Amino acid sequence: MSEFNVKAIILLLFLSICAFSAHRFGFLDTSISIINSPGIQRIEAISNANTNTVLKYDEKIIVDCRLLKLSRYDFCGVSIKLGAPEIEQGLDLAGYDKLALTLHFKAPVVTAKIKVSFRNFNSNYAVAGDDVSLKFNSIIYNPNLHNATVVVPFNALQVDNWWASQYQVGLDNSQVDLSNISLFEVFTDNLTAPGEYQIAVHSAVLNGKLISEANLLKLIFVIWLSSAICLITLQRNKLKIIATTDLLTGLYNRRGISEWTNKFLSMNKPHSTLYIFYLDLDDFKKVNDTYGHLVGDELLIGFCTRIQRYLDTMPDKRFVFARLSGDEFTLITRGVEKAELTDFAENLLEVLTLPISLNEHKIMARASLGIALFEQGINTFEDLLARADSAMYYAKKEGKNQYKLFDESVSKDIFFRKQTAEKIKNALADNAFHLNFMPIFDSHSLAVVSVEVLLRTHAKSLEGIGPDIFIPIAEEYELIEKIDLWVIEATFKQITKERDFLAQNPLIFCINISAAELHNPLFASQLKALLYLYKIDPRSIEIELTETSLVEADQLSIDTLNEIRELGIKLALDDFGTGYTAFSQLINYPVDCLKIDKSFIDNLDSPDSTQATMIKAIIAIAKSYQLKTVAEGIEHRAQYHYLTEHGCNMMQGYLFAKPMIWKGLKNFLEDPDIFKSRLLLIDKTVGNKLPLKL
């Protein structure tokens, strides 16, 4: 229960106790004088033909009646009209519970009695305009002949029998009812002797409570009930807000925007132009790693403020901005028309070009944008988002800080990827994969120390599609775990089959695995089971993982890496230099080897010396962490040369050998001519740097 609810309940309890106590201790008492009330409409004497009557009214009411001779019905008294002039509109006296009456009654006989009555109009049985038809609620008593005050409790009132029988009303309506009193009467109707009668009404005061105890309890109950309903509704609304709001930025979260969009789509289909933007911060992980999560959070808030400020400059358009997760946001625009879209997207990227100032740092928060238009055939938020997401994926591929509108090329790409995934599935079922092996050389001896295991498919349907294309698709469609296990097992089978050969030519097999394995808690144990099954020496296996797969690394990933290493298997960071590992972070990753990415080697010849500097830095750092280095993609002698000079331990590339099937590798390793030509190749370039030893 929230603090607000507790406070509200305590307040209610306090007010209820106060109201109840006020009622009990008379603070809610009230009274009204009937004969002096300004609401009195008329005062009339009640008498009959045998009586001479004089009515005086001044503070008190005095009726003098002289009864000349007795007849069947003789009356003497006074009738006071209460409420509105019309007989059917009286006063509600239900809140009163007693009448304090001070009367002086003179009569020729002592047995004479007074009747005090409240006449009530009820449309069920009374006739408008006919006083006589009104119900009698009355009490008969014999007043003290001296001035005295009698307090008549209202529950002593009775319904006049005469009235009940005369108007033949049912039992329900013959109960005392003070809700609409039109007439108050004080009279005597049992005149038993002719003579002088006098009724002097000195005062008639109704006492009661502003509210009866029963009604007060009912009221308190109703207030409690409605407060409970209000609090529950408030609580539910609050929970709903929490469930649909992102706590860090205060924006809608994924659920919030999804609900909003689906509601909007179901209501407004044909009308407004609606675009959805998928915004993904570029290199956010780098910020988190370098500055910590608190700064990362501040940057996200700064990013939202920046975007919001831009959106505020267009009050004629409507926007809904939300945080999907981590560094992914979505923006829905209404009123941005097709012709304005390019400007809008470019300006959006533009506002992110200046760094965001946080307390101590100034950090860039650039983003890649994917845009999709709501059009025919899209029914849900998820459909719309999937399109924007695909477009964003494209924008990122194109080189970040860009936008891409979902169009035919994107949809073709999705179709291609889907189809390829299907073909990979079939190829797995048909066992239509095989392995290639690419030698890796020691830089000095040029001996082949290891081979990289590379996957190939001979499935007809995948002709022309290499692993650089189908592996990312297999990752996307969650087929990669099967593939990785297949490659590991196929390699182990090969090793088992070639034990004798490998005894003569010891090799380390470098197997690529996908980043997905780091989040697969079973991977290490599966690997262990296969090692055991094929009796493989773990020292002959190295696992290659791309550096970028560590970008998303969490504790589970680090645990998986450690488990692999504990099996005795070595770990290499593939494509090193393309990810964002801060060098200082290398210490956290339990790796043995860095494979310098081919892109650095490719650019070695370019006049820009940054790549060369990077290579030098990577090798130096690797040395200081006692990591081995492999340069991949060596195609020219000069590259080989440069890397050897700077201390790179191993080389791999077309200059030495291409990937080949096992038989080819065997020939390569056994054929002395091939080796000689390799030496010659190097010899031509390096001259006196010819390796001396094999």
Establish if 481 lies at the interface with ligand C2E (CB under 6 A).
no
- Contact assessment for residue 395 and residue 403, using Cβ atoms and an 8 Å cutoff: yes
Taking phi over 0 as left and psi of -120 to 50 as alpha, with beta for the rest, 399 belongs to left
Q: Select from Ca ion, ligand C2E, none the partner in contact with residue 590, using the beta carbon and a kind-dependent cut-off of 5 to 8 Å.
A: none
| From 454, 567, 614, 621, residue interacting with ligand C2E (rule: CB under 6 A) | 454
Buried b (16+ CB within 10 A) or exposed e, 373-387: bbeeebeebeebbbb
Q: Select from Ca ion, ligand C2E, none the partner in contact with residue 513, using the beta carbon and a kind-dependent cut-off of 5 to 8 Å.
A: ligand C2E
The DSSP letter of residue 660 is B
Establish if 428 lies at the interface with ligand C2E (CB under 6 A).
no
Establish if 574 lies at the interface with ligand C2E (CB under 6 A).
yes
What is the CB-side half-sphere exposure of residue 255 using CA atoms within 13 A? Answer: 9
64 vs 574, which CB is nearer to Ca ion?
574
| From 76, 204, 487, 665, residue interacting with ligand C2E (rule: CB under 6 A) | 487
What is the CB-side half-sphere exposure of residue 418 using CA atoms within 13 A? Answer: 7
Establish if 150 lies at the interface with ligand C2E (CB under 6 A).
no
Q: Select from ligand C2E, Ca ion, none the partner in contact with residue 391, using the beta carbon and a kind-dependent cut-off of 5 to 8 Å.
A: none
Q: Where are the alpha helices (DSSP H) in 269-292?
A: 284-291
Taking phi over 0 as left and psi of -120 to 50 as alpha, with beta for the rest, 549 belongs to alpha
512 vs 581, which CB is nearer to ligand C2E?
512
Which residues have CB under 8 Å from 369's CB, separation 6+? 277, 278, 279, 345, 348, 349, 392, 395, 402, 403, 404
Distance, in Å, from the CA atom of 385 to the CA atom of 258, rounded to the nearest integer, reads 9
| From 575, 594, 600, 649, residue interacting with ligand C2E (rule: CB under 6 A) | 575
In three-state form (DSSP H/G/I as H, E/B as E, the rest C), the secondary structure along 477-491 is: CCCHHHHHHHHHHHH
279 vs 601, which CB is nearer to ligand C2E?
601
Only segment of 154-162, 554-562, 627-635, 671-679 that touches ligand C2E (CB under 6 A):
627-635
Closest CB 352 distance from Ca ion, rounded Å: 32
| From 632, 649, 651, 678, residue interacting with ligand C2E (rule: CB under 6 A) | 632
Establish if 514 lies at the interface with ligand C2E (CB under 6 A).
yes
DSSP per-residue letters across 360-383: S-EE---EEEEEEE--TT--SHHH
Closest CB 629 distance from Ca ion, rounded Å: 13
Beta-sheet pairing, 541-546 with 570-576: parallel
Cβ neighbours, 10 Å, residue 188: 23
Establish if 352 lies at the interface with ligand C2E (CB under 6 A).
no
Buried b (16+ CB within 10 A) or exposed e, 497-507: ebeeebeeeeb
Which residues have CB under 8 Å from 32's CB, separation 6+? 96, 205, 206
Establish if 661 lies at the interface with ligand C2E (CB under 6 A).
no
Q: Identify which of 551, 588, 554, 552 has the alpha carbon closest to the alpha carbon of residue 571.
A: 588
Q: Select from Ca ion, ligand C2E, none the partner in contact with residue 635, using the beta carbon and a kind-dependent cut-off of 5 to 8 Å.
A: ligand C2E
Q: Select from ligand C2E, Ca ion, none the partner in contact with residue 517, using the beta carbon and a kind-dependent cut-off of 5 to 8 Å.
A: none
Establish if 484 lies at the interface with ligand C2E (CB under 6 A).
yes
191 vs 593, which CB is nearer to Ca ion?
593
| From 47, 159, 652, 678, residue interacting with ligand C2E (rule: CB under 6 A) | 652
Q: Identify which of 421, 414, 419, 410 has the alpha carbon closest to the alpha carbon of residue 470.
A: 421
Q: Calculate the CA 600 to chain-centre distance.
A: 45
Alpha-carbon distances of 663 from 435, 437, 498, rounded to whole Å: 11, 10, 11
Q: Select from Ca ion, ligand C2E, none the partner in contact with residue 389, using the beta carbon and a kind-dependent cut-off of 5 to 8 Å.
A: none
Closest CB 466 distance from ligand C2E, rounded Å: 5
Contact code string over 494-513 relative to ligand C2E, x by CB under 6 A: ------------------xx
4 vs 654, which CB is nearer to ligand C2E?
654
In three-state form (DSSP H/G/I as H, E/B as E, the rest C), the secondary structure along 81-129 is: ECCCCCCCCCECCCCEEEEEEEEEEECCCCCCCEEEEEEECCCCCCCCC
Distance, in Å, from the CA atom of 78 to the CA atom of 101, rounded to the nearest integer, reads 14
Q: Select from ligand C2E, Ca ion, none the partner in contact with residue 654, using the beta carbon and a kind-dependent cut-off of 5 to 8 Å.
A: ligand C2E
- Contact assessment for residue 601 and residue 650, using Cβ atoms and an 8 Å cutoff: no
Establish if 327 lies at the interface with ligand C2E (CB under 6 A).
no
79 vs 581, which CB is nearer to Ca ion?
581
Closest CB 656 distance from ligand C2E, rounded Å: 8
Distance, in Å, from the CA atom of 367 to the CA atom of 206, rounded to the nearest integer, reads 80
Closest CB 644 distance from Ca ion, rounded Å: 19
Distance, in Å, from the CA atom of 512 to the CA atom of 659, rounded to the nearest integer, reads 14
Task: For the segment 434-453, give every residue that binds ligand C2E (CB under 6 A).
Answer: 438, 453
67 vs 453, which CB is nearer to ligand C2E?
453
Q: Identify which of 188, 210, 242, 159 has the alpha carbon closest to the alpha carbon of residue 77.
A: 188
Closest CB 441 distance from ligand C2E, rounded Å: 12
Establish if 653 lies at the interface with ligand C2E (CB under 6 A).
yes
44 vs 475, which CB is nearer to ligand C2E?
475
Please give the size of the binding site for ligand C2E, defined by CB under 6 A.
24
467 vs 579, which CB is nearer to ligand C2E?
467
481 vs 542, which CB is nearer to Ca ion?
542
287 vs 435, which CB is nearer to ligand C2E?
435
Only segment of 341-349, 381-389, 622-630, 646-654 that touches ligand C2E (CB under 6 A):
646-654
Closest CB 514 distance from ligand C2E, rounded Å: 4
Q: Rounded to the nearest 10 degrees, what angle do helices 293-312 and 284-291 cross at?
A: 140
Tell me which residues touch Ca ion (CB under 5 A). 512, 544, 574-575
- Note the residues at the interface with ligand C2E (CB under 6 A): 438, 453-455, 466-468, 471, 484, 487, 512-514, 544, 574-575, 632-635, 652-654, 659
